[in-house]
């Protein structure tokens, strides 16, 4: 019940295209859903996060879509750039983010020219 | 954003020796620090949660006596891998937060441990 399932495992997108990564969770107590970006040999960095009281959150080229009834959320990267090539992790936490994070399995994104 | 610094960034040690990794919050007081382990091309696995001034809470399957965690101040937590073996080779990452959980947590840059 603590799992967060993430797909796809890897993704190749052409420059300028839209990258979409999906996550699903089971624990209905989760109420904070962040996305992290990790470059090789570095720690993760918070990209964007959402709470279940909204269905969408946008920050620049990054958008989270959230479907509470389906217990799914996704990251959309618009106008994908080579600099976006990294591993992306979705995560979830409960108690308004005051609990530990449960991470998804990660998606390795490659943006090709 | 806030800065969390890990030291060292990488370390090579001989089998049987102990290695200490430091995690510092440079510009905020971290009530809680988390330690993760990440194998190549895999996700982050939480090892333990440490709160300043109290004993760390370890996740199931993590050996307390092997991975010693100390959180003696609001800006410093240390992870000591005792009697390291090659299977302990991994990427260790800490995160720090002013609260008790994920919200507002910042990650360190990670420490690559290689045991030979």
CA distance A19 to chain B (A): 19
Are the C-beta atoms of residues A6 and A22 closer than 8 Å to each other? yes
Across residues B23-42, what is the average pLDDT? 93
- Percent of chain B residues past pLDDT 70, beyond the cut: 99
pLDDT for the residue A2: 63
Which of A45, A101, A106 is the closest to B102 by Cβ?
Answer: A101
What's the pLDDT at A1? 53
Q: Contacts of residue A89 in chain B, CB cutoff 8 Å?
A: 43-44
Mean pLDDT of A7-17: 98
Total length of chain B: 116
Cβ within 8 Å of B, A 41-100: 41-46, 89, 91, 93, 95-100
Report pLDDT for A4: 96
SS3 B104: coil
Whole-angstrom CA distances from A12 to A8, A9, B66, B70, B89 are 10, 11, 40, 42, 30
Mean pLDDT of chain A: 95
B99 CB within 8 Å of a chain A CB = yes
Q: Residue B49: beta bridge partners?
A: B34, B57
Query: Which residue in the block uniquely carries the two structure tokens 């991994």?
Result: B90
For residue A52, which of A73, A22, A36 has the smallest C-alpha distance?
A73
Residue A99 binned pLDDT confidence (cut-offs 50, 70, 90): confident
Interface test with A, best of B3, B93, B102 (most A CBs within 10 A): B102
Contacts of B12 (CB under 8 A, 6+ apart): B114, B115, B116
Q: What are phi and psi of A100, to 5 degrees?
A: -65, 160
Q: What is the pLDDT of residues B74-91, one digit of tens each?
A: 999 999 999 999 999 999
């Amino acid at each position: 019940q603590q799992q967060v399932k993430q797909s796809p495992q890897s993704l190749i997108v052409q420059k300028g295209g839209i990258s979409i990564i999906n996550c699903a969770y089971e624990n209905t107590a989760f109420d904070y859903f962040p996305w992290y970006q990790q470059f090789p040999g570095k720690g993760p960095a918070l990209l964007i996060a959402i709470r279940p009281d909204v269905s969408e959150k946008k920050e620049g080229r990054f958008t989270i879509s959230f479907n509470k009834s389906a217990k799914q959320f996704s990251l959309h990267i618009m106008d994908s750039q080579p600099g976006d090539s990294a591993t992306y992790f979705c995560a979830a936490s409960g108690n308004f983010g005051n609990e530990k994070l449960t991470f998804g399995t990660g998606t390795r994104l490659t943006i090709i020219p | 954003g806030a800065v969390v610094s890990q030291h060292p960034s990488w370390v090579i040690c001989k089998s049987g020796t102990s290695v200490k990794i430091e995690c510092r919050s440079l510009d905020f007081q971290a009530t809680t620090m988390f330690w993760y382990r990440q194998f190549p091309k895999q996700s982050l696995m939480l090892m333990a949660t440490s709160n300043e001034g109290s004993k760390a809470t370890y996740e199931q399957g993590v050996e307390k006596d092997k991975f010693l965690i100390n959180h003696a101040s609001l800006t410093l937590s240390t992870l000591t891998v005792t009697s390291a073996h090659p299977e302990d080779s991994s990427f260790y990452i800490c995160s720090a937060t002013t609260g008790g959980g994920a919200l507002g947590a910042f990650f360190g840059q990670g420490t690559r441990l290689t045991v030979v």
